[in-house]
């Protein structure tokens, strides 16, 4: 379905699971889990089918961010973290959701960090999964070089410094298969709508100077930070620095050995255990 969150701005939204369950003579409300996908330029389909398993705990909301995937096309100058962060609130207002649990994966974690900074009292809980607070190019180059050799290191530097079709092609060839330690679902590539122009726009504009740590000091809800120890694009050192920037009494940190970018892709059982503990508390 498409939901209008502002005049002329419609997001593609899919909702899985009941929000209320019969409990004797009453209806018991379950929390709502909102999933913010990675990218930029990708869509919500990377969360499928893994997150279907949580519908016993919560109602699950998938959506394509502004301008992404099956959402309406929007001007590139709207593709900014503050806009995406505020869209989470706008989406909740449109759907009547209060105190959501919000999970941001990769670029979605950038958005979730800005959402926490701009709307600290809005969420019930937040999960920051395989994400970073900054550009961190040197770490990316070192990690990809360690996994894929000099060609991967060079392709990493070329793309993140000069994003465009040519450098993306080399990055796809030498680096993308190194994101994870387990084979990808061969069908999943056919589900996704990829918009490279949004990826290039963010990488040229906001990413080089990004530092999301200052906004994390005012967090007012539990935050789970999830990191794969073999993640080359958002290395675990980035997650450690996010954890250090969060108030100690709110943060939980889950590291996953033998895991790359997105713990549920490489170790779904361990990822499910960590998420169930956090969501169900």
Q: What is the mean pLDDT of residues 117-133?
A: 98
Mean of pLDDT over the chain: 96
Query: What is the percent of the chain with per-residue pLDDT over 90, rounded to a whole number?
Result: 93
Confidence (pLDDT) at 112 = 98
- Distance between CA atoms of 20 and 210, rounded to whole angstroms? 40
Q: What is the mean pLDDT of residues 110-139?
A: 98
45 within 8 A of 192, measured Cβ to Cβ = yes
Mean pLDDT of the 254-266 span = 97
**Angle at the Cα of 41 (from 39 to 44), degrees rounded to 5?**
70
42-75 pLDDT, tens digit per residue, is 999 999 999 999 999 999 999 999 999 999 999 9
pLDDT score for 22: 87
Please write down the long-range contacts of 200-203, taking CB distance under 8 Å and 24 or more positions apart. Answer: 200/163, 200/164, 200/168, 201/40, 201/76, 201/79, 202/39, 202/40, 202/41, 202/79, 202/107, 203/159, 203/160, 203/163
What is the mean predicted confidence (pLDDT) over 28-38? 96
Walk me through the domains of the chain, giving residue ranges and CATH numbers.
2-134+196-280 (3.40.50.1820), 136-178 (no CATH)
DSSP-derived 3-state class of residue 7: coil
Average pLDDT, integer, range 28-35:
95
Task: Take residue 160 and report the two structure tokens written for it.
Answer: 């993140």
| Interval 172-213: pLDDT, tens | 999 999 999 999 888 777 899 999 999 999 999 999 999 999
Look-up of token digits 């790359």: 260
> Is the overall model pTM greater than 0.95, yes or no?
yes
Chain position carrying tokens 């999830």:
226
DSSP for 244-265 reads HHS-TTTEEEEEETT--SSHHH
pLDDT at 56: 95
Residues 6+ apart with CB under 8 A from 170: 155, 158, 159
105 CB-side CA count, 13 A? 27
Rounded to 5°, angle at Cα 68 from 66 and 73? 75
Contact 234, 113 (CB under 8 A): no
pLDDT band at 230 (very low <50, low <70, confident <90, very high): very high
SS3 124: coil
Q: What is the pLDDT of residue 184?
A: 84
């Amino acid at each position: 379905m498409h939901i209008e969150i502002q005049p002329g701005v419609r997001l593609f939204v899919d909702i899985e699971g009941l929000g209320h369950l019969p409990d004797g003579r009453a209806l018991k409300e379950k929390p709502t889990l909102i999933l913010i996908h990675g990218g930029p330029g990708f869509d919500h389909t990377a969360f499928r089918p893994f997150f279907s398993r949580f519908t016993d705990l919560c109602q699950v909301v998938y959506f394509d961010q502004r301008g992404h995937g099956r959402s309406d096309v929007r001007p590139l100058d709207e593709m900014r973290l503050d806009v995406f962060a505020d869209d989470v609130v706008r989406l909740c207002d449109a759907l009547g959701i209060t105190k959501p649990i919000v999970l941001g994966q990769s670029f979605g974690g950038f958005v979730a960090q800005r959402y926490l900074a701009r709307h600290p009292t809005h969420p019930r809980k937040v999960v920051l999964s395989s994400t970073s607070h900054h550009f961190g190019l040197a770490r990316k180059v070192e990690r990809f070089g360690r996994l894929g050799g000099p060609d991967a290191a060079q392709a990493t530097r070329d793309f993140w410094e000069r994003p465009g079709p040519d450098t993306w092609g080399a990055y796809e060839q030498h680096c993308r298969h190194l994101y994870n330690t387990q084979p990808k679902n061969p069908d999943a590539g056919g589900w996704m709508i990829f918009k490279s122009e949004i990826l290039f726009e963010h990488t040229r504009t906001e990413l080089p100077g990004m530092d999301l740590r200052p906004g994390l000091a005012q967090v007012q809800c539990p935050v789970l930070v999830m990191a794969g120890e073999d993640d080359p694009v958002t290395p675990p050192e980035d997650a450690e620095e996010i954890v250090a920037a969060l108030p100690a009494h709110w943060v939980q940190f889950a590291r996953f050995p033998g895991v790359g970018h997105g713990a549920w892709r490489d170790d779904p059982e361990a990822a499910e255990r960590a998420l169930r503990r956090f969501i169900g508390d």
